Amino acid sequence: MKPFIIHTGILAPLDRANVDTDAIIPKQFLKSIKKTGFGPHLFDEWRYIDHGEPGMDLTQRKKNPDFVLNQAQYEKATILITRENFGCGSSREHAAWAIEDFGFRVILAPSFADIFFSNCFKNGLLPIVFPSETIDHLFKSIYANKGYALTIDLENQFVVLPSNEKISFQVDAFRKHCLMNGLDDIGLTMQHSESIKAFEKSYYQKNSWLL
Amino acid sequence: MQAKTLYEKLFESHIVREDAGTYLIYIDRHLVHEVTSPQAFEGLRINHRPVWRNKSVLAVPDHNVPTTDRSLGISDPISKIQVETLDENCNHFGLTQFPMNDNRQGIVHVIGPEQGSTLPGMTIVCGDSHTSTHGAFGALAMGIGTSEVEHVLATQCLILKKFKTMEVRVDGKLNKGITAKDIALALIGKIGTAGGTGYAIEFAGESISDLSMEGRMTLCNMAIEAGARAGMVAVDEVTISYVDNRPFSPKGEAFEKAKSYWKTLHSDKDAKFDKTITLNGNEILPQVTWGTSPEMVVSIEGMTPDPKKENDPSKRKSIEDALVYMGLEPNLPISQISIDKIFIGSCTNSRIEDLREAANVLKGKKIAKNIKLALVVPGSGLVKLQAEKEGLDKIFVEAGFEWREPGCSMCLAMNADRLNPGERCASTSNRNFEGRQGQGGRTHLVSPSMAAAASIYGHFVDIRSLN
Ligand code: SF4
């Protein structure tokens, strides 16, 4: 996992609420047994006019010019900003893989669905929750200023606006630590394998029917 | 001793360690299917990690399997690779699997309970959001992502924070024809699809304790659609008699010992919830979704909404978008919406009781002429056998339904069963998102009896008006 410390990038506005994981990565792409290669199919049904299937030649597909990520000014965007309850629906981590593979590193929204939120951290993506008013304000600024960019400072937990104004954000300490150091959860938990064994011993003594 | 909620009891009995509010939680049961596991197994192999406790795993292919003649194998080469990868991984790591042609195969959330692999008091995870289903047994059951699947395989633990607790009380008795599905949709209509975000929901009240285990599973299944990662119901006699004598359930003395523990699995009388929502079971009507999110729901007596009446601009836009996608006019009575296809199945409503309910409506009837396809997809091979024993398959087939092999099927259309663009479906599944049942497909979520009734009339009808 790529460590995340500080990041500066252009914002792409996805002005919809309740964007579900089926929209983020349609199910036909879940048939892959790999973790990579989902980026080209991020928001497939919105991005392309034709219906996408795995293995298609992307250069032959017709893009939907109205969809925000197809607009030239957002081509280099690395920060996605959207509305409430982003990532609702299924637990598919493919949604986080697709967003990361596409090139995003940060998602800003008033709220996220729980499983998606936790999947982000496991893949070097930083989801940040801001109050609706802040999100509203950012949307307006993006629409008014071409190339609107922000700096996200994870260590100090603030976002720097082009005006140099800083907005602080909350992030769980454990998740921050893992993200900043690019740490893999499994490796960390393995360090506690003795505690797990000790727990099992007393647990199965008490709950012997589980054996 | 301090009064505790069921959630707190389940959570606290599985804490391995705590670090500043982040817990390492021990997992009893890990259900695995073909879509969200390949990358997790690959991770184990790359890092040369074994599976911590093979016995905790039960695997089954369900999302990609064909529901038609299985002797022909899987025709889609990519689906085939995914199902074969699961076979290979289970062989390599020594895990119990019910492969595609085993008659115990079925949707992961149907077979866990059916096999007694889901038991009260357990922590249960699966790389699937509808794992909340298993909470019906007084268990803490949650959907997880693939990284977490790998984490649980490798360490038997999950890193978690405590959820907040929400009690959903459904007092009073349900009226005839009203099911757990209607409770779930009515609740989501009330609190919205993000209403439960950050919470574990416990369902309680007279309407809930009156439900069968099948009904409780339907309800907990849809807790995730209300945004909650876990839904649960306290253990009672209904729970205990359901788990008694299942293949994986404890037997004899072990069962007795378990039983006395399971009986403690309810919220204490004075336990405090962070939030309580109440519904009156008596007032719940048959529910039908009209839009592209489960919260876009009204009763059969209702109409599609009028965006002009919505003052909040972002909500107005969602209503407009959903009506356009669904091909519906504002202010249209739900009973006037005509249907192209019917789907009875999915982990929400494909258990024996659901099939009985639908068959009961269909007995001696025929599907309407405008119905192009009506599918029944039993939740498991054993549900299918049981239904055949009861002659339900004949009722369905005589009415004009197709009787299929078990799997997820048209709930998410990863196999060949799907809607064509513009087709409208009355579905007993749980999600009506854009494209969920096939690109451009239009889904209306309903209970099994409401789906069956719609198949006879070709449009939605009030189940209470049929006798
Ligand atoms: S039936 Fe539908 S919701 Fe249930 S596990 Fe299968 S795809 Fe998911």
> Does residue B259 carry a pLDDT above 70?
yes
Q: Are A110 and A16 in contact (CB under 8 A)?
A: no
Give the CA dihedral B63, B66, B72, B74, nearest 10 degrees.
-40
Burial annotation B96-130 (CB, 10 A radius, 16+ → b, else e): bbbbbeeebbbbbbbbbbbbbbbbbbbbbbbbbbb
Structure token pair of residue B89: 């991984």
Please name the residue that has the structure tokens 């039960």.
B58
Which residues are registered as beta bridge partners of A167? A159
Task: Determine whether the interchain pair B22/A115 forms a contact, defined as Cβ–Cβ distance below 8 Å.
Answer: no
> What are the angstrom distances between the C-alpha of B221 and each of B72, B134, B142?
32, 8, 10
Q: Return the pLDDT at B342.
A: 98
Q: What is the mean pLDDT of chain B?
A: 96
When pLDDT is cut at 50, 70 and 90, the band that residue B87 belongs to is very high
pLDDT at B467 exceeding the cut of 70: no
Q: How far apart are CA B81 and CA B72, in angstroms?
A: 15
- B432 CB within 8 Å of a chain A CB: no
Please check whether residue B264 touches A, CB under 8 A.
no
CB contact (8 A) between residue A35 and residue B39: yes
**Alpha helices in chain A, H assignment, sequence order:** 21-24, 44-47, 94-102, 114-121, 132-144, 173-181, 185-190, 193-206
Q: How far is B331 from chain A (nearest CA, A)?
A: 23
Q: Compute the distance between CA of residue B358 and CA of residue B387 in angstroms, rounded to an integer.
A: 12
CA–centroid distance, residue B413 to ligand 1 (Å): 10
Percent of chain B with pLDDT over 70: 100
Residue B462: predicted pLDDT: 98
Q: Tell me, what amino acid is at B223?
A: A
Q: What is the pLDDT of residue A191?
A: 93
Inter-CA distances, A128 with A117, A157, B6, B119, B256, Å: 9, 10, 31, 37, 49
Exposed (0-12), middle (13-18) or buried (19+): which is A66, by Cβ within 10 Å?
Answer: exposed
Beta-carbon contacts of A25 under 8 Å, excluding residues fewer than 6 positions away, are A38, A41, A42, A44, A92, A94, A95, A97, A98
| Whole-angstrom distance, CA of residue B239 vs CA of residue B458 | 37
Q: Is the pLDDT of residue A82 over 80?
A: yes
- How close is the Cα of A3 to the center of ligand 1, in Å? 34
Number of C-beta neighbours around residue A84 at 10 A: 22
Site of tokens 């077979």: B111
Answer whether residue B50 shows pLDDT above 70: yes
Say yes or no: A136 contacts chain B, CB-CB below 8 A. no
Dump pLDDT digits (tens) for A27-71: 999 988 898 999 999 999 999 999 998 888 888 999 999 999 999
Which residues of chain A lie closer than 8 angstroms to B19, CB-CB?
A: 174
Give, using CA atoms, the residue closest to atom 6 of ligand 1: B408
Report the run of H or E that residue A160 belongs to, with start and end.
Answer: strand A158-160
Cβ of B194 and A123 within 8 Å?
Answer: no
The residue of chain B with its CA nearest to that of A123 is B147
Which helix or strand (DSSP H or E) is residue A81 part of? Answer: strand A79-82
Average pLDDT, integer, range A180-196: 93
- What backbone torsions phi and psi does residue A63 show, to the nearest 5 degrees? -85, 150
pLDDT tier for residue A17 given thresholds of 50, 70 and 90: very high
Strands A158-160 and A149-153: antiparallel
Cβ distance B274 to B164 under 8 Å?
Answer: yes
Which ligand 1 atom is at minimum distance from the Cα of B431? 3
The tens digit of pLDDT for each residue in B404-414 reads 999 999 999 88
Q: What letter represents residue A104's amino acid?
A: F
pTM: 0.94
Q: What is the gyration radius of the CA atoms in chain B, in angstroms?
A: 21
Q: Which long-range contacts (CB under 8 A, 24 or more apart) does B390-399 make?
A: B390/B356, B392/B355, B392/B356, B392/B359, B395/B359, B395/B362, B395/B363, B396/B358, B396/B359, B396/B362, B398/B366, B399/B362, B399/B365, B399/B366, B399/B367, B399/B374, B399/B455, B399/B456
B363-372: b (≥16 Cβ within 10 Å) or e? eebebbeebe
- Residue pair B106/B93 in contact (Cβ under 8 Å)? The answer is no
DSSP structure class, residue A51: P
Amino acid identity, position B284: I
| Of A61, A24, A19, nearest in space to B321 by CA | A19
Contact across the interface for B145 and A119, Cβ inside 8 Å? yes
pLDDT digits (tens, 9 = 90+) for B93-113: 999 999 999 999 999 999 999
- Residue B63's nearest CA partner among B50, B77, B79 is B79
Assess A143–B contact: CB distance below 8 Å, yes or no.
no
Is 70 exceeded by the pLDDT of residue B122?
yes
Distance CA B233, CA B212 (A): 11
pLDDT of residue B290: 98
Strand order in the sheet with B275-280: B230-233, B199-204, B164-171, B275-280
pLDDT of residue A55: 84
Atom of ligand 1 nearest to the CA of B350: 1
β-pair partners for B341? B373, B425
Q: Least CB-CB distance to B155: which of A16, A122, A190?
A: A190
Average pLDDT over residues B280-292: 98
* Single-letter amino acid, residue B298: V
The answer to whether the beta carbons of residues B125 and B31 sit under 8 Å apart is yes
For B92, phi then psi, to 5°, come to -60, -45
- Which residues in chain A have Cβ-Cβ distances shorter than 8 Å to B437? none
* Chain segment A90-116, per-residue pLDDT in tens: 889 999 999 999 999 999 999 999 999
Tell me, using a 6 A CB cutoff, whether residue B36 lines ligand 1.
no
Model pLDDT, residue B314? 84
Closest by CA position to A196, among listed B116, B149, B7, B154? B154
Q: pLDDT band at residue B136, thresholds of 50, 70 and 90? A: very high
Which tens digit of pLDDT belongs to each residue from B178-192?
999 999 999 999 999
Give the tens place of pLDDT for each residue, B304-354: 999 999 999 889 999 999 999 999 999 999 999 999 999 999 999 999 999
Question: Could you read off the pLDDT of B3-41 as tens digits, one per residue?
Answer: 999 999 999 999 999 999 999 999 999 999 999 999 999
Q: Is B151 in the pocket of ligand 1 (CB under 6 A)?
A: no
A 6-65 residues with CB < 8 A to B:
16-18, 20, 22-23, 26-28, 30-35, 45, 51, 54-55
Answer for the pair B454, B446: CB distance below 8 angstroms, yes or no.
yes
pLDDT score, position A22: 92
Q: How many Cβ contacts (< 8 angstroms) between chains A and B?
A: 171
Residue B412 CB less than 6 A away from ligand 1: yes
In chain B, which residues have their Cβ closer than 8 Å to the Cβ of A186? 43, 47, 49, 150-151, 154-155
Closest alpha carbon to A37 in A122, A104, A101: A101
Residue B54's Cα: distance from chain center in Å?
A: 25
Task: Tell me: pLDDT of B386 over 80.
Answer: yes
Q: Atom of ligand 1 at shortest distance to CA of B346?
A: 1
